[in-house]
Amino acid sequence: MEFVSIDPATAEELARFEAHDAQATEHAVAAAHDAHLEWRFAPFPERARLLRAVGRILRERTDAYAAHMTREMGKPVTQALAEVEKCARLCDYYAEHAEAQLAPVQADTDASKSYWTYRPLGVVLGIMPWNFPFWQVIRFAAPTLTAGNAVLLKHAPSVPQCALALQTLFRDAGYPTGLFGNLFLDVDATGDLIDDPRVRAVSLTGSVRAGKAVATRAGAAIKTCVLELGGSDPSLVLEDADLELAAESCVLGRMNNTGQSCIAAKRFVVVDAVRDDFEKKVLEQLEGWTMGDPSDSETRLGPMARVDLRDTLHDQVRRSVDAGARLVHGGEVPDRPGAWYPATLLADVRPEMPAYSEELFGPVGCILSAADELEAIRIANDTSFGLGASVYTADVQRGERIAADLLDAGNAFVNGVVKSDPHLPFGGTKESGYGRELSPLGIREFTNAKTVWVR
């Protein structure tokens, strides 16, 4: 198998890499295991020092790293620059807070001294996606390393240059040799790696199908597994919502990263009383999301990451329209090289349509009508996914009640776009996965909460 880097804006091949063979994989696993045996005893000030170095290098090389993302998966350069800075802020967060988050917790028992402590597991495999090729890796690796583990990265095949840049980043920051390793592996070799007894845990961000396969393999080996999978996030727009804010936020949440985000605002669930006005305002917002050269700082909507993904999305749109959805905007494949697809809006979306039940991973928004708040909540939860959700209302207490108690999702926002933040846990429920990243919960996922009892 080869890992090929292709510019989705032009369909030009950029680079090609051979998969690692069994000998190279064994070398990387052994090096990671040996490095962990020393690293697990590194004092927290040293761990924080190296993580701050990662943040510093990210900021020093922002332009270069952003260019990698733009070339390999079409991310508009302004969004790529923001992604690199977000990675650096994550490093700042854990460098400052990791020691306190992993501090021993005292307990009052019959012992003269008893507590629990968070000890690292060992080598952790990260299987990461192409859509946020730096953020997803840093989000996983920074806390995992700072907890005392080693990391092996199996990145998406379409972003090999990003993967190599990340390996170099951790090397240049001064981490011990082997502690962060990149491997180009096919599916079978990845499964074998999960089976390896030196690999103690797995983190996957990807599709539901991939999540089921990894969870099955990790479960059979009785290994910790964190899954962040797909989403079909609803945005509830109630009758008292600020429609300007709701339309702007929904379109931003849907179109950012060319719609290729698990927490994109994929379904706009709008009560009938404001549905027509909301549709008009969404159309006005979409005028600002025209396709353009992703290397241009003025571009907001670039190409999709791959032609096959674009074709899958268009097929979902076409089948939804054939089933009765109303095509309001976009929906036509441009006649040009590359993985281009325009900002698209579907309305009158109902349960029998792909746009209702399937995840649309690209720049396609869908309006679903609801008679009232109760029906809007029912429709929002009528999905196999449960990653993010948002609600727009002038009554903040009403919105908080819906978000906290009634929306079946791991992340629920009121009057704002769903996003990840280092201070808050991030993850989903139902087919969106399990486990949490970010916050104190994220850094503890790949640790052994060990009880110590002393008389």
Work out whether the CA dihedral 431, 432, 436, 437 comes out positive or negative. Answer: positive
Which of 402, 400, 435, 441 shows the shortest CA–CA distance to 422? 441
Which three-class secondary structure string do you get for the chain? CEEEEEECCCCEEEEEEECCCHHHHHHHHHHHHHHHHHHCCCCHHHHHHHHHHHHHHHHHCHHHHHHHHHHHHCCCHHHHHHHHHHHHHHHHHHHHHHHHHCCCEECCCCCCEEEEEEEECCEEEEECCCCCCCHHHHHHHHHHHHCCCEEEEECCCCCHHHHHHHHHHHHHCCCCCCCEEECCCCHHHHHHHHHCCCEEEEEEECCHHHHHHHHHHHHHCCCEEEEECCCCEEEEECCCCCHHHHHHHHHHHHHHHHHCCCCCEEEEEEEHHHHHHHHHHHHHHHCCCCECCCCCCCCCECCCCCHHHHHHHHHHHHHHHHCCCEEEECCCCCCCCCCCCCCEEEECCCCCCHHHHCCCCCCEEEEEEECCHHHHHHHHHCCCCCCEEEEECCCHHHHHHHHHHHCCCCEEEECCCCCCCCCCCECCCHHHEECCECHHHHHHCCEEEEEEEEC
Distance CA 94, CA 438 (A): 9
Distance CA 39, CA 139 (A): 20
Catalytic residue ranges: 228, 262
